[in-house]
């Protein structure tokens, strides 16, 4: 008879592997399956059936939280739906005009990304609301019937509705939505999704949402209706919390950084067990590397993200991504230089050592240099073809020899591949730390992903980061993160108040209404009031500035908090200047049951032997440890390689390494 126990499962879909983590009898269990890029749900269904078979649990007795890249990939590859935009007449081209800011300031031939809506489907309707919220021109009801006919003939799959100042007067958008309901296609309404000012960013966000709605809706329906039973499914959103599958299907723009955000949540959980609050997270997978900076134990979010060249104004984690991963392909470019990435071998055909290609990748370089200790991947389940990796790297060395005019050895070529990859990733780490006024020496580096531990020591030394926290199960930390993440609801309202006591008092009414709405939504998802938490945020600026900073009022002195935030971001504060509160934002948490933290037993750990590997340009004997056999409070012999099911960690001779009581591998580079 099937067990009635409710099994909680975290699932993260990556470019190479799909990770599964589930809690059973107080312990985490994890495994990986090859991803199925053509339809990610195939690998997920396979993994869920495996868990049900192992635990004797039915599909309707599992709770799944999913970190997905479906929306991200559709946006990057322009594989979304055919959509229309309805806006105030005269503002049909706001997507094409955009802002004056250019990503390449001195490139006169720079090409802007094409709008997601075709010219002929950007439709204006007669109406006008002014900045005070007053209706200057009523909605032309007579145009609605013609609009419906045109949309029906056009064959659009979804519609975005974004009228001027609709966040102050949403009635016009609601009437348009009501008229379009008979079309039976998804509608994205700006006053519901993003009731904030800035028509370009708001319109872009709502258009992206409409662009992804049909695809995400079909995907989640296909996934949640596995066989004849419906899954209890939640989806990780970009801000660090999960939402129901129904909300994700309606507002997919909130999931475009779904996978990476789960990793940051998991990383912060690991950092807390190690007693460290300031961390730089470093997630290196098969296709890309994601980095984020978290100080004082808090996740940094932004409402000014750019994804695929398009602004996204909903709350997302402040994550920076580069095209460098274990599957990044190495090649010699037209100028004779060694390049690594951003093209990736992915899961299919994969690196040469996977046995299906002869593409030289970062993973193949590690194989040639002996950095896996002959252990393979997935605890030995996934054998690596060392001969094929060496053949691919030999071909690359030959190409380098031809352009350089001197013989380049296979070892030198492999070391060169890792050096170039490290340079790309170091640039990303500097971008989120040094370039934003943060001293990396005051942070710990927390590497995860299947390849993060192989590069962590070199990168930490480059940035003079003193400590590395290598958590347990680093290759599945994103799946752990989505599993432990709270349910989060983000709401906002543009208010445009001058910061004075009288005006600020009015904010209480705004927040009270937002909290009532959020409380009802969370209660509907099974969270009673005692399992809810609400956090008030303020988008603030000095009068005359164009952009805001998001401020948490933790001290009671909101002005002082803003001056501090401004000084941290820009290096100065204008304490005599007038302050504006532009938007009130509420982040509401449905607090999920926390999973138990498992402590290791104390004891002595010995290497399982020694292997030969190339480190720091030298061939040497290196101690080999198995992570599962390590005890708490153990000091490791260095240099060493630490292998485990989901990842491998490489530690050089000049580092000190130990295991703490929660199983974190702490590496000291001081």
Q: Span 403-422, mean pLDDT?
A: 93
Please tell me the least confidently modeled range out of 3-12, 196-205, 316-325, 658-667. 3-12
Quote the tokens at residue 399.
Answer: 């190409």
- Beta pairing partners, 657: 636, 667
Whether 279 and 294 have beta carbons less than 8 Å apart is answered as yes
Q: Span 275-297, mean pLDDT?
A: 90
> Which residue is it, tokens 């635990």?
55
| Secondary-structure class of domain 7-75+218-255 per CATH | alpha beta
Quote the tokens at residue 15.
Answer: 């470019």
The Cβ of residue 556 has, within 10 Å, a number of other Cβ atoms equal to 7
**Is a pLDDT exceeding 50 seen at residue 4?**
no
DSSP helix/strand/coil, 599: coil
Q: Do domains 7-75+218-255 and 78-212 have the same CATH topology?
A: no
DSSP 646: S
Determine if residue 352 is left, alpha or beta; phi over 0 gives left, psi from -120 to 50 gives alpha, anything else beta.
Answer: alpha
The Cβ of residue 211 has, within 10 Å, a number of other Cβ atoms equal to 28
Q: How many helices (H) and strands (E) in the chain?
A: 17, 34
Chain segment 336-379, per-residue pLDDT in tens? 899 998 888 876 788 999 888 899 999 999 999 999 887 767 76
Q: Span 288-306, mean pLDDT?
A: 87
Query: CA–CA separation, 111 vs 102, rounded Å?
Result: 10
Q: Where are the domains of the chain?
A: 7-75+218-255, 78-212, 328-421, 494-590
The whole-number pLDDT of residue 86 equals 97
Extended beta strands in 407-519, E state = 444-448, 467-470, 487-498
Distance set, CA 24 to CA 30, 32, 58, 233, 356 (Å): 11, 17, 15, 19, 36
Query: CA–CA separation, 466 vs 475, rounded Å?
Result: 23
Mean pLDDT, the chain, whole residue set = 90
**Is a pLDDT exceeding 80 seen at residue 429?**
yes
Query: CA–CA separation, 426 vs 442, rounded Å?
Result: 17
Written as one string, the DSSP assignment of 276-296 is ---EEEEEE-SS-EEEEEEBT
Most confidently modeled of 31-40, 81-90, 641-650? 81-90
The whole-number pLDDT of residue 505 equals 73
**Is a pLDDT exceeding 90 seen at residue 61?**
no
Using pLDDT thresholds of 50, 70 and 90, give the confidence band for residue 648. Answer: very high
The whole-number pLDDT of residue 5 equals 57
241 CB-contact burial (10 Å; exposed 0-12 / middle 13-18 / buried 19+): buried
What is the sign of the dihedral through the CA atoms of 516, 520, 523 and 527? Answer: negative
Length of the chain, please?
Answer: 670
Extended beta strands in 461-548, E state = 467-470, 487-498, 532-542
The CATH fold of domain 78-212: Dna Topoisomerase Vi A Subunit; Chain: A, domain 2 (3.40.1360)
Query: CA–CA separation, 548 vs 476, rounded Å?
Result: 36
Omega prior to 639 cis, within 30 of 0: yes
**Is a pLDDT exceeding 80 seen at residue 504?**
no
DSSP 106: T
The whole-number pLDDT of residue 595 equals 77
Quote the tokens at residue 474.
Answer: 């680093």
The whole-number pLDDT of residue 363 equals 93
- Beta pairing partners, 283: 290, 448
Quote the tokens at residue 113.
Answer: 């990304």
Whether 57 and 3 have beta carbons less than 8 Å apart is answered as yes
Please tell me the pTM assigned to this model.
0.88
Using pLDDT thresholds of 50, 70 and 90, give the confidence band for residue 297. Answer: confident
Query: CA–CA separation, 269 vs 203, rounded Å?
Result: 35
The whole-number pLDDT of residue 227 equals 56
Using pLDDT thresholds of 50, 70 and 90, give the confidence band for residue 2. Answer: very low
Q: Span 26-30, mean pLDDT?
A: 79
Distance set, CA 54 to CA 24, 29, 33, 57, 266 (Å): 11, 11, 15, 8, 25
Whether 318 and 419 have beta carbons less than 8 Å apart is answered as no
The whole-number pLDDT of residue 606 equals 85
Query: CA–CA separation, 40 vs 5, rounded Å?
Result: 27
**Among candidate residues 11, 12, 7, the one with its CA nearest the CA of residue 24:** 7
Express as a percent the part of the chain with pLDDT over 70: 97
**Among candidate residues 307, 444, 329, the one with its CA nearest the CA of residue 396:** 329
Whether 214 and 157 have beta carbons less than 8 Å apart is answered as yes
Q: Span 208-234, mean pLDDT?
A: 86
**Among candidate residues 597, 606, 596, 664, the one with its CA nearest the CA of residue 632:** 664
> Which residue is it, tokens 């509705």?
161
- Beta pairing partners, 288: none
Chain segment 89-138, per-residue pLDDT in tens? 999 999 999 887 777 778 888 788 899 999 999 999 999 999 989 999 99
- Beta pairing partners, 467: 444, 668
DSSP helix/strand/coil, 398: helix
Quote the tokens at residue 167.
Answer: 């966040």
What residues have CB less than 8 Å from 234, skipping those under 6 apart?
Answer: 63, 64, 65, 66, 242, 243, 244, 245, 248, 487
């Amino acid at each position: 008879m099937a067990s009635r126990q409710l099994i909680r499962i975290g699932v993260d879909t990556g470019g190479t592997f799909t990770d599964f983590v589930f809690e059973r009898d107080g312990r985490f269990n994890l495994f990986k399956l090859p991803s199925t890029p053509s339809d990610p749900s195939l690998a997920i269904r396979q993994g869920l059936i495996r868990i049900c078979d192992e635990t004797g649990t039915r599909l309707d007795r599992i709770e799944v939280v999913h970190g997905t890249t479906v929306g991200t990939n559709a946006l990057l590859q322009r594989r979304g739906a055919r959509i229309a935009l309805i806006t105030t007449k005269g503002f049909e081209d706001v997507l094409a005009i955009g802002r004056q800011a250019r990503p390449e300031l001195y490139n006169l031939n720079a090409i802007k990304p094409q709008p997601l809506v075709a010219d002929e489907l950007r439709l204006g309707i007669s109406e006008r609301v002014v900045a005070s919220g007053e209706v200057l021109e009523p909605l032309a009801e007579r145009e609605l019937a013609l609009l419906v006919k045109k949309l029906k003939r056009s064959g659009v799959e979804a519609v975005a509705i974004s009228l001027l100042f609709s966040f102050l007067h949403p009635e016009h958008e609601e009437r348009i939505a009501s008229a379009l309901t008979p079309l039976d296609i998804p509608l994205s309404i700006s006053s519901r999704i993003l009731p904030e000012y800035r028509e370009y960013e708001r319109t872009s966000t709502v258009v992206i949402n409409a662009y992804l709605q049909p695809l995400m809706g079909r995907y989640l329906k296909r996934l949640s209706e596995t066989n004849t039973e419906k899954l209890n499914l939640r989806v990780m959103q970009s801000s660090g919390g999960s939402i129901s599958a129904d909300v994700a299907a309606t507002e997919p723009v909130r999931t475009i950084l779904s996978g990476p955000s789960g990793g940051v949540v998991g990383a912060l959980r690991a950092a807390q067990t190690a007693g460290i609050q300031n961390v730089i997270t470093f997630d290196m997978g098969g296709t890309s590397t994601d980095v984020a900076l978290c100080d004082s134990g808090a996740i940094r979010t932004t409402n000014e993200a750019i994804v695929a060249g398009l602004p996204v104004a909903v709350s997302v984690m402040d994550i920076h991504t580069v095209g460098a991963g274990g599957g990044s392909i190495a090649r010699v470019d037209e100028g004779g230089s060694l390049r690594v990435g951003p093209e990736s071998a992915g899961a299919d055909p994969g690196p040469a050592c996977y046995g299906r290609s002869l593409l030289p990748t970062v993973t193949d370089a590690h194989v040639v240099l002996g950095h896996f200790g002959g252990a393979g991947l997935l605890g030995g389940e996934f054998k690596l073809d060392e001969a094929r990796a060496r053949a691919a790297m030999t071909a690359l060395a030959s190409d380098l020899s031809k352009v350089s005019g001197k013989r380049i050895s296979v070892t030198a070529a492999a070391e060169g591949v890792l050096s170039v990859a490290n340079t790309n990733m170091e640039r990303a780490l500097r971008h989120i730390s040094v370039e934003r006024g943060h001293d990396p020496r005051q942070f710990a580096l927390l590497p995860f992903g299947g390849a993060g531990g192989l590069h962590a020591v070199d990168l930490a030394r480059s940035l003079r980061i003193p400590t590395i926290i290598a958590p347990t199960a680093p290759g599945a930390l994103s799946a752990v993160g989505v599993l432990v993440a709270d349910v989060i609801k983000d709401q906002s309202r543009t208010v445009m108040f001058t910061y004075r006591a009288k005006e600020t008092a009015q904010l209480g009414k705004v927040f009270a209404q937002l909290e009532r709405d959020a409380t009802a939504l969370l209660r509907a998802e099974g969270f009673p009031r005692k399992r809810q938490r609400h956090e008030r945020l303020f988008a603030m600026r000095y009068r005359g500035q164009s952009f805001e900073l998001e401020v948490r009022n933790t001290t009671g002195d909101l002005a002082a908090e803003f001056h501090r935030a401004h000084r941290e971001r820009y290096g100065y504060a204008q304490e005599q200047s007038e302050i504006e509160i532009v938007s009130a934002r509420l982040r509401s948490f449905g607090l999920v049951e926390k999973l138990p933290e498992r402590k290791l037993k104390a004891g002595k750990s010995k290497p399982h032997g020694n292997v030969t590997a190339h480190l720091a340009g030298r061939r040497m004997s290196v101690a080999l440890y198995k992570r599962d056999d390590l005890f708490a409070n153990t000091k490791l012999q260095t240099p060493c390689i630490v292998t485990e099911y989901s990842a491998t960690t490489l530690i050089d001779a000049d580092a000190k390494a130990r295991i703490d009581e929660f199983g974190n591998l702490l590496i000291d580079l001081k």
